[in-house]
Amino acid sequence: MKILVLVKEIIDTNSKIIFDKQKKIDESQVKWVVNLYDEYALEEAIRIKEQYGGEVVIYSVGRDRTKDTLNYIMSMGADRAVLIKSERSDAKSVSEILAKHIGERDGDFDLILAGWIGIDCNRGQVPGRVSSILGVPFVNVVIKIDINGQTVICEKEGESSNEIIEAKIPSLITVQRGINEPRYPNILSIMDKTEKKIEIVENIDQIRGKQARINIEPEKDRKKTYMINESDSELAVKMLMKKLIADKVM
């Protein structure tokens, strides 16, 4: 089995996000980490490989610094990684870049796994777009994967019920938390920066057509809280009800 895993390096949303004078996020002040869901995808890929043999290859579109993030996550047990350097970060360009380089290098993949969403920008677009370009089925938000000969059986999280889905190989599957518990990266392997095979490819960014203008601003805080600190619970609820009715919430 050749399993490709799409990995996104993101700003650690736990770290404080500082805006500079141009209202741009000060990237020197943030920590870069692997998107949480992509770790589940990598863990699942490694488990499939452990059972059926084959190769696990990470694909990531990033910058120079992304090497360190990939180095860390590769120590979970990936065989190699392809880091495609590009200045692009919009979902459409990233998807097209990924699909192009996958097609050129590892077009004979059996599965592509990815996290179902990036917790930084919440877009949830890249996996679907990549599947569309590569022309393979797209099974989104999966919590269980079983290989069954030339097909793969997935449990997909649905709206009000889950679905059991059979897709052919090759397919692109995105995973949801709950599918597995990712292992910790191997410490010795993290420290040994020489042994890992990270292929770095420069992408030739195409000139883009007309783009929407996008600005980022800090989020405002909510208005003042109406606090009730009253030891008598009956009274506390009465006070809340009164206020809710006065404010027309109820």
Partner 1 sequence: MSCDVLVVVEHNEGRLKNVSIELLSYFGRLGKDNGVKVVAFVFGDQISEKLYCDIGKLGILQIVSYVDNDLDMQPGLIAGMTVGLAKKIKPKLIVMANTVRSRDSAPLIAQDLDIEMYSDIIDIDYKKTVINLTRLIYGGKAIEKIKLLNQQALITIRPNVLGNHENEAFIPKITRLKINELPINQTYITKAKITKEKAQKPINEAEVIIAIGRGLRRVDDLNMVNDLARVVDGVIGSTRPVVDMGFVRRSHQIGQSGRSVSPRLAILLGISGQIQFVAGISKAKTIIAINKDAKATIFKSADYGIVGDIYAIIPILTRELRKLKLQNR
Instruction: Tell which positions 75-104 bind partner 1, by CB under 8 A.
Output: 90-92, 95
Residue 205 in contact with residue 89, Cβ under 8 Å?
Answer: no
User: Using the rule CB under 8 A, which residue among 53, 195, 213, 246 binds partner 1?
Assistant: 213
User: Residue 244, interface with partner 1 (CB under 8 A)?
Assistant: yes
CA-CA distance, 179 to 156, in Å (whole number)?
A: 11
Contact string 172-191 vs partner 1 (x = CB under 8 A): ----xxx-------------
CA-CA distance, 45 to 231, in Å (whole number)?
A: 53
Instruction: Please state the length of the chain.
Output: 250
What is the DSSP code (8-state) at residue 186?
Answer: P
Q: Tell me how far apart the terminal alpha carbons of the chain are, to the nearest angstrom.
A: 57
CA-CA distance, 39 to 33, in Å (whole number)?
A: 11
Q: Which is nearer to partner 1, 31 or 193 (CB)?
A: 31
Q: Which is nearer to partner 1, 87 or 219 (CB)?
A: 219
- Could you say which residues in the range 142-171 bind partner 1, by CB under 8 A? 143, 153, 155, 157-168, 171
User: Residue 21, interface with partner 1 (CB under 8 A)?
Assistant: no
Contacts of 130 (CB under 8 A, 6+ apart): 6, 95, 98, 99, 102, 112, 114, 172
- Could you say which residues in the range 41-60 bind partner 1, by CB under 8 A? none
Q: Which is nearer to partner 1, 197 or 244 (CB)?
A: 244
- Could you say which residues in the range 106-135 bind partner 1, by CB under 8 A? 119-129, 131-133, 135
Which residue(s) pair with 138 in the sheet?
Answer: 172
User: Residue 217, interface with partner 1 (CB under 8 A)?
Assistant: yes
